[in-house]
A and B are shown apart, each in its own frame.
Chain A
Amino acid sequence: MLVTLSLPSSTSHEITLPLSTMPASVSPAASTIRPSTDTLIRLASSDHGIQLKALRDVKNQIIGNRTKKLVYIKLGAVPAVASVLADALDGSGHSSTDLLVQSAAALGSFACGVDAGVRAVLDSGALPSLIQLLSNHDEKVIGSAARSLKLLYQSKLAPKYDLSENGSVELLHSLLNSENENANGLAASIIAHSCKASAEQKAFCLNGILAKLIDLLGGSISQRDASLESLASIMKSNHEVASQFVKYERGQALNLLVNLTNERSTRTRLLACACLITLRNVSSTYLRGRGTETKLVRYLVELLEEPGQVGEEASFALSSFIEDDEHLQKLAFDANAIDVLCNHLQKDPLQPKRLEGILIALARMCSRLEFCRAKFLQMQAFNSVSEALHHDCADVRGAACICMRNVTRSVQNLSAGFFMNENIVIPLLELLHDPNPFIQLEALCAISNIVVNFRTSNSSFIRWGGLKQLVQLSVSMDPAIRSNSLCAIRNLTFEADNKCKAEVFKELTASSLASLMSDPDPSVQEQALAIARNLTGGSLESIQYAFAEGGIILDAVQRQLECASTVESGIQGIFVLSNVASGRDAHKDAVMDRLLHNMGSGSNPPYLLRFMQSNDSSLRTASLWLVVNLASPSCMGASRRIAKLRKAGVVSQLKIMVKDPCLDVKHRVTTILGQYLTFDDS
């Protein structure tokens, strides 16, 4: 779920045009008219009055009604309406004007939010006609065409605006210069749609559009707003264009932009903030030293309080700004963002878009900083997040899951068992079957955090069917689902008691765990190995899991270590062996045998030596813990194992590692050499 900064202007939805003066007749209510071929006949009539009425009937039925749109599209209404438009373009007079207005509006409605409608409008060849209307002398016609084209250009199916086409640059300039706010809004839509790639952004700059946009920052309100939207599109992720903007007239454009954050119009303020955020995302140096970041955060938090679309979009802008940046999250915290967001969250009812925005903003706030999570939980708004997990709107459910995921990173609250609660866990378990795969994954991540339960037992989670579900997901076709479900099982087994481990092992089974260690996906392998590590850690009797079913888990670990595709797999695998080697003599000897088997195979350097020589200090450290445990003098067979390790070249390698740059490695080497000296008689 991406949070973008391109803000639709206020007319991005269908509107009903005022009725023109036509002969009054009693019109049946739109809802009682059924789509039928009769409509097509009437649209093709030579009587303009009948055509006009048919257009209005169609338009009034399809506004906001996706089902009726699709029915009319199937009937072939779009080409019929396009034909009316084309004919009316050739005509003149008052009736032609009405036909132009209504046919343009109907086409816009078909294209609004429905891909099939966009395709039908484009296929009917109506686009050039609509563009032609922008040069009409009648403002109503221009307005109708501009609104409809704006709806069209909001769809990813719309063609990119071709600046190389004759007259297209001039048209864009004229739209920007126009006093008609629909024309300005259309220009912004066209630029936003056509400025995705860096080359496209550059093309708009080269054609004087950047300079025109900067110029219009001082224009009328709608020109200014359209310019701000367009500037954000042109500069997005583009160093070259952003740099041109910042340097323009020695920083005058940037100063103007910063000043616009103080404008009376809340919409302008928001768009100016969004533009500055775009600049900062290109390079944080652009806003440095001005206190702009602090002000931006404060303005956005203030804008959160605005009603309507501005308040709604402010939360998305804030989220985008503070994402992954602790410094900005701290600034937002200091500006009381969490209080404002939580106060809104607890208002009832909230429009889905606003709710989604608030949840995403809270999620970003709680992503990294514990004091933010603590503040959020203190505000007692967490129940609202749990309730949002049940929302009808998928975007809201998804946002609630992201929020849950980030808040459940709080170790303090995990330790207190705060989240292991059926009002939180059961809805998340249900979302594992959500039709939206993104939601499934986010719910899984939240569950994965919650089951890190430390002191309290995980029996409730198991009783609610959580373990069963995780095990089922471990064989999903989707590697991300497999990996994350295994991560959840890994977390479930962290410091788990014997009862929990036994339940996990019984449900997952040794053969399945062994098989997952060789999964084609490296992150699945890593998590499977980490589960084995956790199962074999803790109490001494846990080591038995490694030897279950004839030792298939140990064999699988061995195979993975021999061909470890990632450092993390190596670390987890070595720690499994290390945990086993921390047991009794028999356990240590079983590990030793496997090491020697690998060392004797001769085809590749033995993995233990390879890992000890790794560039990764964590892998070197892990391999040394294996040696520490094998050489532990508290067991009778220590001297025998040390002799074998020496023969295998391990002791020589250790001596090289005495001056390892990693302190942890150095300490373990010292420990092992000390143990070795205890037994060395040379």
Chain B
Amino acid sequence: MPVRVVDSSAPSQVSGGNSGSTCPQPCTLLSVGQAFSGTQNVSNVQKDEAWRVNVRIQGFDLDHGYLCGTMEALNVPMADTPVITFWEGEIVDTKNHTFFTGKWEATLEDDIRHWSKFPSFSPLQSQVEADGGKSLDLSNYPYIFMRWKELYFVNVGTDCGLTIAGFYYVCFSCSDGSINGFYYDPNSSPFQKLELKSTNEGRSGFSFSSYQLQ
């Protein structure tokens, strides 16, 4: 199995002139075609429930801090079939997007509250609280932080009884491709947790495909 590497070094702060990029570096495990599977915990007061979830990356544009893909929720009680949504993501790169959401009814406090649930966020917390993390150098940080927002249902109607009003705070581990996330929606149970691992579709190793837009 790949060995998990825990890098406890905090990212450096940029002082004065910046000779290189401070944005996250590309990672092959977070590229188009990559698939992840795991669960989303949708527990509420009445019961514990977890949906199996598959995610696939379809678009990735590091320069613009953008990615997108689909999310498939299996064993959804209200649905006869797996429910697929299309989502777009913002990569927190301090250039295009900071740790502050600034929309989707998420306040600064909501942001800090959610980001701080990721252990990998703690070295960054003080700087983020100060300026949203704008002066952080994330280029050598082994985690990539994102927000994922589902935009529409791909295979069911909006009357399916499910909501996509909220968004996910997401943390991706560059070393092993695992993803953790917390769903935020002021009208839903708080801190529903998303836990995904990079999948390899029955292979003993990783395969990679690519496309090229003209």
Q: Using Cβ atoms and an 8 Å threshold, which residues of chain A touch B214?
A: 405, 409, 445-446, 448-449, 484, 487
Q: Using Cβ atoms and an 8 Å threshold, which residues of chain B touch A534?
A: 209-211
Q: Using Cβ atoms and an 8 Å threshold, which residues of chain B touch A634?
A: 1, 204-205
Q: Using Cβ atoms and an 8 Å threshold, which residues of chain A touch B1?
A: 633-634
- Which parts of A444-458 form the interface with B (CB within 8 Å)? 445-446, 448-449, 452, 454-455
Contact with A along B35-75 (1 / 0, CB 8 A): 00000000000000000000010110000101010100000
Q: Using Cβ atoms and an 8 Å threshold, which residues of chain B touch A575?
A: 208, 210
Cβ distance A500 to chain B, nearest Cβ, rounded Å: 13
Number of A residues near B (Cβ < 8 Å) is 57
Known A581-B205, A671-B175: A664·B28 in contact at CB below 8 Å: yes
Q: Does B3 contact A (CB under 8 A)?
A: yes
Q: Is the CB of A411 within 8 A of B59?
A: yes
Q: Using Cβ atoms and an 8 Å threshold, which residues of chain B touch A265?
A: none
Say what secondary structure dominates the interface of chain A: helix
The one of B88, B206, B211 in contact with A629, judged by C-beta atoms closer than 8 angstroms, is: B206
Q: Using Cβ atoms and an 8 Å threshold, which residues of chain A touch B5?
A: 667, 670
One of A118-126, A425-433, A513-521, A537-545 at the interface: A537-545
Q: Does B202 contact A (CB under 8 A)?
A: yes
Q: Report Cα–Cα, A446/B2, bound state, in Å.
A: 40
Cβ distance A612 to chain B, nearest Cβ, rounded Å: 15
Q: Using Cβ atoms and an 8 Å threshold, which residues of chain B touch A583?
A: 203-205
Cβ distance B78 to chain A, nearest Cβ, rounded Å: 22
Contact with A along B170-214 (1 / 0, CB 8 A): 000011100000000000000000000000111111111111111
The one of A409, A539, A663 in contact with B25, judged by C-beta atoms closer than 8 angstroms, is: A663
The total number of A-B Cβ pairs within 8 Å is: 142
One of A85-93, A332-340, A489-497 at the interface: A489-497
**Chain A residue with minimal CB distance to B67?**
A411
Q: Report Cα–Cα, A662/B3, bound state, in Å.
A: 18
The one of A455, A484, A537 in contact with B33, judged by C-beta atoms closer than 8 angstroms, is: A537
Q: Using Cβ atoms and an 8 Å threshold, which residues of chain B touch A633?
A: 1
Q: Using Cβ atoms and an 8 Å threshold, which residues of chain B touch A409?
A: 213-214
Q: Is the CB of B212 within 8 A of A530?
A: yes
Q: Does B142 contact A (CB under 8 A)?
A: yes
Q: Using Cβ atoms and an 8 Å threshold, which residues of chain B touch A629?
A: 204-206
**Chain B residue with minimal CB distance to A579?**
B207
Q: Is the CB of A454 within 8 A of B58?
A: yes
Say what secondary structure dominates the interface of chain B: loop
Q: Does B140 contact A (CB under 8 A)?
A: yes
Q: Report Cα–Cα, A446/B203, bound state, in Å.
A: 34
**Which residue, of B66, B84, B88, B203, has the highest number of chain A Cβ atoms within 10 A?**
B203
Cβ distance B8 to chain A, nearest Cβ, rounded Å: 14
**Chain A residue with minimal CB distance to B155?**
A455
Q: Report Cα–Cα, A23/B141, bound state, in Å.
A: 92
Q: Is the CB of B203 within 8 A of A582?
A: yes
Q: Is the CB of B202 within 8 A of A540?
A: yes
Q: Report Cα–Cα, A406/B1, bound state, in Å.
A: 42
Q: Is the CB of B209 within 8 A of A533?
A: yes
The one of A415, A449, A533, A671 in contact with B68, judged by C-beta atoms closer than 8 angstroms, is: A415
Q: Using Cβ atoms and an 8 Å threshold, which residues of chain A touch B212?
A: 448, 487, 490-491, 530
The one of A487, A537, A539 in contact with B208, judged by C-beta atoms closer than 8 angstroms, is: A537
Q: Does A635 contact B (CB under 8 A)?
A: yes
Q: Is the CB of B68 within 8 A of A628?
A: no
Q: Is the CB of A533 within 8 A of B210?
A: yes
Cβ distance B28 to chain A, nearest Cβ, rounded Å: 6
Q: Is the CB of B70 within 8 A of A415?
A: yes
Q: Does A346 contact B (CB under 8 A)?
A: no
Cβ distance A521 to chain B, nearest Cβ, rounded Å: 16
Q: Report Cα–Cα, A582/B198, bound state, in Å.
A: 14
Q: Does B27 contact A (CB under 8 A)?
A: yes
Q: Report Cα–Cα, A393/B88, bound state, in Å.
A: 39
Q: Does A102 contact B (CB under 8 A)?
A: no
Known A415-B70, A449-B214, A671-B175: A538·B209 in contact at CB below 8 Å: yes
Q: Report Cα–Cα, A408/B214, bound state, in Å.
A: 9
Q: Does B167 contact A (CB under 8 A)?
A: no
- Which parts of A644-667 form the interface with B (CB within 8 Å)? 662-664, 667
Q: Report Cα–Cα, A490/B33, bound state, in Å.
A: 13
- Which parts of A527-583 form the interface with B (CB within 8 Å)? 530, 533-534, 536-540, 572, 575, 578-579, 581-583
**Chain B residue with minimal CB distance to A621?**
B28
**Chain A residue with minimal CB distance to B30?**
A664
Cβ distance B208 to chain A, nearest Cβ, rounded Å: 6
Cβ distance A27 to chain B, nearest Cβ, rounded Å: 57
Contact with A along B141-184 (1 / 0, CB 8 A): 01000000001001000000000000000000011100000000
Q: Using Cβ atoms and an 8 Å threshold, which residues of chain B touch A536?
A: 207
Q: Is the CB of A538 within 8 A of B28?
A: no
Q: Using Cβ atoms and an 8 Å threshold, which residues of chain B touch A667?
A: 5, 27, 142, 174-175
- Which parts of A381-415 form the interface with B (CB within 8 Å)? 405, 408-409, 411-412, 414-415
Q: Is the CB of A663 within 8 A of B142?
A: yes
The one of A405, A449, A484, A495 in contact with B209, judged by C-beta atoms closer than 8 angstroms, is: A495
Q: Report Cα–Cα, A487/B5, bound state, in Å.
A: 37
Q: Using Cβ atoms and an 8 Å threshold, which residues of chain A touch B200?
A: 582
15 pairs, CB–CB < 8 Å, chain A vs chain B: A370-B66, A409-B213, A411-B59, A415-B68, A449-B213, A454-B70, A494-B209, A533-B210, A540-B202, A578-B208, A625-B208, A629-B205, A634-B1, A663-B27, A663-B140
Q: A415-B68, A493-B209 are in contact. List 8 more A-B contacts (CB 8 A).
A: A408-B213, A411-B59, A449-B214, A455-B70, A494-B210, A494-B211, A572-B210, A664-B28
* In the A-B complex, the 5 residue pairs with the closest CB atoms: A674-B3, A582-B205, A629-B205, A411-B59, A445-B214
Name A's B-contacting residues (CB within 8 A).
370, 405, 408-409, 411-412, 414-416, 445-446, 448-449, 452, 454-455, 484, 487, 490-491, 493-495, 530, 533-534, 536-540, 572, 575, 578-579, 581-584, 588, 621, 625, 628-629, 632-635, 662-664, 667, 670-671, 673-675
Name B's A-contacting residues (CB within 8 A).
1-3, 5, 25-28, 32-33, 56, 58-59, 64, 66, 68, 70, 84, 86, 88, 139-140, 142, 151, 154, 174-176, 200-214
